[in-house]
Chain A
Amino acid sequence: MAAEVRPALKRSDEERQIEEGAEVILPVSEDEGIETEELILNMGPQHPSTHGVLRLVLRLSGEKVVQCVPVMGYLHRGLEKIFEWRTYHQGIRYADQSDYVSNMLNEHAYAGAMEAIGGIDVPRRAEFIRVIVDEMSRCASHLVWLGTYGLDVGATTPMLYCFRDREEILDLFEELCGSRMNFNYFRPGGVLYDLPPGWLAKLSRFLDRYEKHIEDDYVRLLESNEIFLERTVGVGEIPPDVAVAYGLSGPIARGSGVEVDLRTARPYSIYPELTAMKPVIERQGDAYARYRVRVGEMRLAIRLIRECIDKLPGGAVRARLGHVWKCPKGEAYYTVEGAKGEVGIYMISNGGPNPFRAKMRGPSFVNLQILPWLLKDRLVSDAVAIMGSLDFVLGEVDR
């Protein structure tokens, strides 16, 4: 029996022609009594609003987008193949590179998959440290999104404020593991280093400032900005059933009212113990709702980190695995609620020094597929506002 081809995977000849820039005969449409010839607009791969190297080919009829063909692969670095060539410990460093805005969350998924195969118990202190750095990483990611989305819709100031706080988070990370972005901090069975002395005090002082900055700067700057509201409220609405049908996850799905947060829906680490953990859900489904969810998650992250600091136990931060640790045979799929959605690693081990296969589920890649549906029959001026609200990172889309 022939395998059934899902409609989303089929690519029509016409789409292929548009992508390759081949001769496409464009129809002439009549819109409001004016005869308009359709136009193909190429956007990217070098475009300030595609957040990396995404290329969009838009077919326009006047101001309206008739069709959108995303072209990907400009940042395909072969990460999944490299996972197979590196040892388990070396692979953590490459997991960083996938979503390079929230690196710790990828590492968590990669280390978690190893632990699930090997049946390793993580010390409690390590789990708490993991949750702290995960939430800090999520904040860093949302701050970059908030700043660049402000730029996309015409507000320059939020970016300067957002990077101020992001720098402080990165400084704390640097003190913790020596690097600002590609951390290489997670290990199977824990984390690499314990917290340096005085780090927690610095973190909680930062959280106090940061909490004030969210209310005083970001929310006040954007939510009282008429232009920002005009460009986001009611733009790019995704109904909940469409969000589920396209397999969206993360803040996009939660902005549409789909109550899926892997921290509570498929609990991992110590999230079930934290009383502050309540998913942020918005019902409207537009770009503004997605903004609200992300700002809500920044506030949630502060509450979660504070609770972790209060409950932080003592003890080791790394399980003793012996000098040469070999992953036993087996396979596992481990998911983490990333900053963009469900970050999953499906890892198969055949007992050798390297993973036999490590498939990465990048949430940005799955979330991106709704873009043609969203842009259809929209104004071309809304394209950037819609695209920015999806918050994808091209490193994760192309891997």
Chain B
Amino acid sequence: MAFDEKVPAKPIDFEHDVIQKRPETTQTGLGRPGALSPTPGILADEDNAVFTTLAKLVDWARSRSPWPLGYGLACCAIEMMASAASHHDLSRFGAEVFRSSPRQADVMIVAGTVTHKMAPRLRRLYEQMPEPKWVIAMGNCASSGGEFWDSYATLQGVDTVVPVDVYVAGCPPRPEALTEGVLRLREKIARGG
């Protein structure tokens, strides 16, 4: 074809060119029903109609923005701040809005060592949070007592006081590890946990 030759005009195919088809996605809840889809109850058809039950839709919506309670105890709190700050940016996963009041929070991230003196306050804060609520035990101290396993003043794991959904290991866990914990919690919430 010479360079000055015109390209013959193609007739517009309405079905093919005008209607933008939604690309198939593997995001939680919006994929085709199949082995790759993490939530088999929700399926997206090609023409953007979603068939699901209301409960599953609510679970999916809840999992998108678990707001944590701004509640630092010890060293892990600094890493929690770091994961919410500019470099690691937890807001990519909707969990950066640290609420100062337990009444507005969904997730309690227990970041640090829980002492015997703090445990009743922690329990009270947990009870003040509205349902549904989840708990992430961040770090070894909150998960199992960690390096304070023989201390006379600390609690051996926060699961002796409140039910824990996700344990994040590390001393302190890297911000990436906390992000992974939040993602696991999102999966759990989307499954209806």
Q: Is the CB of B171 within 8 A of A74?
A: no
Q: Which of B70, B85, B171 has the most CB of A within 10 A?
A: B85
Least CB distance, A54 to chain B, in whole angstroms: 11
In the complex, A182 has a CB within 8 A of chain B: yes
Q: Mark B127-157, 1 if CB is under 8 A from A, else 0.
A: 0000000000000000000011011111000
A28-36, A43-51, A128-136, A261-269 - the one binding chain B: A43-51
A76 in contact with B153 given A180-B79, A182-B171 (CB within 8 Å): yes
Q: Which residue of B lies closest to A73 (CB)?
A: B117
Contact pattern, B 84-104, Cβ under 8 Å of A = 1, otherwise 0: 011110000000001010100
Bound CA span A91–B114, Å: 21
State the main secondary structure of chain B at its contact with A.
loop
**Is there a chain A Cβ closer than 8 Å to B161's Cβ?**
no
Within 8 A of A (CB), among B58-84: 69-75, 77-79, 81-82
Chain A residues in 8 Å Cβ range of B16 = none
Residue on A nearest B112 in the bound complex, by CB: A75
The bracket for how many chain B residues form the interface is 35 or more
Residues of B within 8 A of A144 (CB): 78, 81
Give Cα A46 to B74, complex, Å. 12
Q: Does A181 contact B (CB under 8 A)?
A: yes
With A and B bound together, what is the CA distance between A74 and B78 in angstroms?
A: 17
Name A's B-contacting residues (CB within 8 A): 45-48, 52-53, 73-78, 81-82, 85, 93-94, 97, 100-101, 144, 147-148, 159-161, 163-164, 166-167, 170, 180-182, 394-395
14 contacts between A and B (CB under 8 A): A52-B73, A73-B115, A73-B117, A74-B118, A78-B151, A82-B148, A101-B78, A144-B78, A159-B81, A160-B85, A164-B86, A167-B88, A170-B82, A180-B172
**Which 9 A-B residue pairings sit nearest by Cβ, starting from the closest?**
A163-B85, A100-B75, A167-B87, A160-B86, A78-B151, A78-B153, A74-B118, A48-B100, A164-B86
